[in-house]
């Protein structure tokens, strides 16, 4: 299948003297993490299917610096930001879409005052727009009647007040959406934010991702839907910890839509 993926880079566009409609910011997880790479590919399939003129930076992309900033390393963050902004501005990027809410938040809110001003969308927002514009039609019945619960990523939800776009997209799969007790504004973090993804948790009674997964399992879901590569990892681990991996799948919204497109 992979040979069917069209992934042009900004350098390709530049060589042809063209500008893409969007830049797809893949992010470090989306580029290197085995689980997240599947999400990246699912999103590319959607972009290909909807004939979106997009490009990636490829080897010219570097970490946004988001996690360094949250860990307290403002210096490293700004070095990354300034370097990325130079590349983005050189390509005259106007609009960025990313599957990672952390990159989304960072590019959208923290790059502007350092000289990087772009329209930034989370992939669930962009998919929602594609569907609304009629550019992505014909979802099949793969998920019809399945019970799906959506885990709000902190950096999409509370951080940027976007609770509707992912849910609107999920509605389109004709699945039954169930909400966890803690959802939207009061959604519980998966436990990966603020640099926790890269370290052992401090001493406590339990792991955050297990608590969150318990909350998700209370809704008796067939699928736990995520919108963030880190949440996906944490929830997948949580489902394994609860020994439910044969009954409950953890899938990114991009994967759900790609599957429902038969891609």
Partner 1 sequence: MEYIPNILFAVVLFLGIGFFAKNVKKLIRNIKLGQDKAVSDNKSQRWKNMAMIALGQSKMVRRPISGFLHVVVYIGFIIINIEVLEIIIDGLAGTHRIGLSVLPQSVYGFLIGTFEVLACLVFIAVIIFWLRRNVIKIARFWKSEMTSWPKNDGNYILYFEMVLMSLFLIMNATDVQFQALNSGNVISQFMAPWFSGLSEGTLHFIERGAWWLHIVGILVFLNYLYYSKHLHILLAFPNTYYGKLQPKGQFNNLEAVTNEVKMMMDPNADPFAAPAEGAEDDVPAKFGASDVQDLNWVQLLNAYTCTECGRCTSECPANLTGKKLSPRKIMMDTRDRLEEVGKNIDANNGEFKDDGKQLLGDYITHEELWACTTCNACVEACPVSIDPLSIILEMRRYLVMEQSAAPVELNNMMTNIENNGAPWPYNQMDRLNWKDE
Q: Which of residues 183-212 bind partner 1 (CB under 8 A)?
A: 185-186, 188-189, 191-208, 211-212
- From the DSSP assignment, how many helices (H) and strands (E) are in the chain? 11, 8
Q: Could you say whether residue 142 binds partner 1 (CB under 8 A)?
A: no
Q: Which is nearer to partner 1, 132 or 206 (CB)?
A: 206
Q: Could you say whether residue 70 binds partner 1 (CB under 8 A)?
A: yes
Instruction: Name beta bridge partners: 224.
Output: 149, 250
CA angle, 100 as apex, 156 and 241 as ends, to 5°? 90
Instruction: Name beta bridge partners: 176.
Output: 147
Binding residue for partner 1 (CB under 8 A) from 24, 54, 150, 155? 155
Q: Could you say whether residue 32 binds partner 1 (CB under 8 A)?
A: yes
Q: Could you say whether residue 80 binds partner 1 (CB under 8 A)?
A: yes
184 and 245 Cβ atoms separated by less than 8 Å: no
CB of 66 to partner 1, least distance (A): 10
What DSSP element (H or E) covers 218?
Answer: none
Binding residue for partner 1 (CB under 8 A) from 114, 119, 137, 262? 114
Instruction: Name beta bridge partners: 96.
Output: 23, 120
Nearest to 84 by CA among 27, 124, 160, 166: 27
**How many positions of this chain bind partner 1 (CB under 8 A)?**
72
Alpha helices, H only, 133-207: 164-171
Q: Could you say whether residue 11 binds partner 1 (CB under 8 A)?
A: no
Q: Could you say whether residue 105 binds partner 1 (CB under 8 A)?
A: yes
Q: Starting at the earlier edge strand, list the strands of the sheet with 249-252.
A: 176-178, 147-150, 223-226, 249-252
219 and 147 Cβ atoms separated by less than 8 Å: yes
Q: Could you say whether residue 231 binds partner 1 (CB under 8 A)?
A: no
Q: Could you say whether residue 74 binds partner 1 (CB under 8 A)?
A: yes
Contacts to partner 1 from residues 44-63, by CB under 8 A: 44, 56, 58-59, 61-63
Q: Could you say whether residue 1 binds partner 1 (CB under 8 A)?
A: no
CB of 65 to partner 1, least distance (A): 7
Binding residue for partner 1 (CB under 8 A) from 51, 89, 109, 140? 109
């Amino acid at each position: 299948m992979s040979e069917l993926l069209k992934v042009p880079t900004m350098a390709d566009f530049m060589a042809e003297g063209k500008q893409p409609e969007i830049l797809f910011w893949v992010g470090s997880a989306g580029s290197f993490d085995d689980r997240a790479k599947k999400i990246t590919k699912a999103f590319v399939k959607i972009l290909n299917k909807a004939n979106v003129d997009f490009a990636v930076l490829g080897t010219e992309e570097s970490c946004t610096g988001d996690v360094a900033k949250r860990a307290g390393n403002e210096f490293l963050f700004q070095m990354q930001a300034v370097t990325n902004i130079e590349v983005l501005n050189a390509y005259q990027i106007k609009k960025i879409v990313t599957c990672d809410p952390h990159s989304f938040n960072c590019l959208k809110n923290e790059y502007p005052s350092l000289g990087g001003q772009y329209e930034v969308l989370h992939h669930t927002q962009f998919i929602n727009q594609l569907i609304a514009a009629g550019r992505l039609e014909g979802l099949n019945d793969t998920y019809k009647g399945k019970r799906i619960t959506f885990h709000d990523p902190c950096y999409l939800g509370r951080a940027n007040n976007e609770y509707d776009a992912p849910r609107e997209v999920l509605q389109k799969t004709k699945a039954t959406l169930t909400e966890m007790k803690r959802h939207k504004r009061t959604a519980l973090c998966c436990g990966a934010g603020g640099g926790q993804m890269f370290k052992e948790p401090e001493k406590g009674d339990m792991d955050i991702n297990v608590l969150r997964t318990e909350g998700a399992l209370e809704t008796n879901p067939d699928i736990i839907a995520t919108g963030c590569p880190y949440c996906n990892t944490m929830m997948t681990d949580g489902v394994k910890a609860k020994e439910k991996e044969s009954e409950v799948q953890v899938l990114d919204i991009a994967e759900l839509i790609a599957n429902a497109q038969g891609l």
